[in-house]
């Protein structure tokens, strides 16, 4: 699909993206926009090479693509200046290779914070109240009347939410769980989440003034403390060498038997095979997963686990957010082509 065919600058998007604002932004600034409409979901390096062709000023790409040495050197050869991932995470991008070839890299933070946090909160609730299991039970025609023990789950109020990685998304999630469900907070991060701490303190005082049990917060000195103490744990680190298999067999073993683990960050943060084993051994332990180690696949056995809620990497999938991500991705590329600083540069 081609927009503004006579545009001076050639910008390629490896996927159609929501909305038209991002296209207009580019075409209004003399860009020819080429959108790949190839049906297959995951494009190979070869597919992308042929999209880049001989002349390409910038590319908007997706987290399913491997942007490394080969693609950046070819983009450079085609006269390219910028690459923007339509995602906040850029573990699929070798930023060093982009730097080497003088290609600016952009990502799309900010616009997806609340949407992603809302999905992590949804997974927490779905797991704690066994929503998916109960839905399947209804649809299978198994409901034959109210029973005192039918689909009993956990009450979140007064329990402790554990956040590993209290950056933008982790903090937004924590606030939702604290304010929405009056949970206490324990978090682990290399940096102090001062605004989050201030929020919990102020909210605790508000509850107290209204005669309610105040919420509390604690910054854990080790991740293990979070795993041991929290009832619901949500993972929000970036994926890199230090966070690969952050949750492994040993760390699963120290979590509460009835804990809930949520992951809407990146799949390889959890050793998924160890998780499947843990779910089998601990039927009261529940997980809510948006991401998987070998996406789009699940490790054998996971799909059979009733104590797992699984969704296909949809954490940022609200209309507003996806249009915002597309717009930011376009702004990143446009900025560099026009010689302005790009909107969001993970190098900074």
Q: ω before 296 within 30° of 0 (cis)? A: yes
Give the DSSP per-residue string, 264-313: -S-GGGB-HHHHHHHHHH-TT-EEEES--TBTTB--TTGGG-TTEEE--S
Q: Among residues 88, 111, 161, 196, which is the contact residue for ligand DGY, using CB under 6 A? A: 88
CB of residue 239 to ligand DGY, shortest distance in Å = 9
CB of residue 205 to ligand DGY, shortest distance in Å = 35
Considering only 16-24, 49-57, 81-89, 123-131, which stretch makes contact with ligand DGY by CB under 6 A?
A: 81-89
What is the phi/psi pair of residue 169, to 5°? Answer: -75, -45
Residue 200 or 262: which CB sits closer to ligand DGY?
A: 262
Cβ partners under 8 Å of residue 136, min gap 6: none
Site string for ligand DGY, 31-70 (x = CB under 6 A): --------------------------------x-------
Q: Which of 288, 285, 331 is nearest to 312 (CA)?
A: 288
Among 32, 251, 266, 322, which one carries the catalytic annotation? Answer: 266
Is 313 assigned a catalytic role? Answer: yes
Q: Which residue has the tokens 């907070």?
A: 185
Residue 112 binds ligand DGY, judged by CB under 6 A: yes
Q: Among residues 17, 60, 75, 87, which is the contact residue for ligand DGY, using CB under 6 A? A: 87
CB of residue 41 to ligand DGY, shortest distance in Å = 14
Q: Which of 155, 151, 168 is nearest to 107 (CA)?
A: 168
Pairing of β 31-35 and β 2-3: antiparallel
Residue 318 binds ligand DGY, judged by CB under 6 A: no
Q: Catalytic residues, which ones?
A: 266, 295, 313
The residue ranges that bind ligand DGY (CB under 6 A) are 63, 87-89, 112, 316
């Amino acid at each position: 699909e081609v927009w503004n065919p006579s545009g001076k600058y050639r910008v390629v998007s490896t996927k159609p993206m929501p909305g038209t604002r991002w296209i207009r932004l580019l075409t209004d600034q003399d860009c020819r926009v080429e959108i790949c409409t190839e049906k297959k979901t995951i494009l190979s390096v070869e597919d992308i090479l042929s999209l880049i062709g001989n002349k390409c000023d910038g590319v908007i790409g997706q987290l399913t693509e491997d942007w490394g040495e080969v693609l950046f050197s070819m983009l450079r050869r085609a006269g390219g200046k910028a690459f923007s991932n339509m995602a906040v995470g850029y573990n699929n991008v070798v930023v060093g290779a982009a730097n080497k070839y003088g290609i600016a890299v952009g990502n799309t933070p900010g616009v997806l914070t609340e949407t992603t946090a809302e999905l992590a909160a949804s997974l927490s609730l779905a797991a704690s109240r066994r929503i998916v299991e109960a839905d399947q039970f209804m649809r299978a025609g198994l409901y034959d009347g109210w029973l005192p023990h039918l689909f009993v789950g956990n009450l979140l109020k007064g329990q402790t939410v554990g956040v590993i990685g209290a950056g933008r998304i982790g903090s937004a999630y924590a606030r939702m769980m604290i304010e929405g469900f009056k949970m206490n907070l324990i978090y682990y991060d290399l940096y102090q989440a001062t605004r989050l701490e201030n929020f919990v303190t102020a909210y605790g005082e508000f509850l107290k003034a209204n005669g309610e049990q105040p919420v509390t917060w604690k910054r854990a000195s080790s991740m293990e403390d979070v795993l041991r103490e929290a009832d619901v744990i949500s993972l929000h680190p970036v994926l890199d060498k230090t966070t690969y298999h952050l949750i492994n067999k040993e760390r699963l073993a120290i979590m509460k038997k009835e804990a809930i683990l949520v992951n809407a960050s990146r799949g390889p943060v959890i050793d998924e095979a160890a998780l499947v084993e843990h779910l089998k051994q601990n039927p009261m332990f529940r997980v809510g997963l948006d991401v998987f180690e070998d996406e789009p696949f699940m490790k054998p056995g996971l799909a059979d686990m009733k104590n797992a809620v699984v969704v296909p990497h949809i954490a940022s999938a609200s209309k507003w957010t996806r249009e915002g991500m597309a717009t930011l991705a376009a702004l990143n590329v446009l900025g560099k082509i026009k010689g302005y600083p790009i909107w969001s540069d993970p190098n900074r």
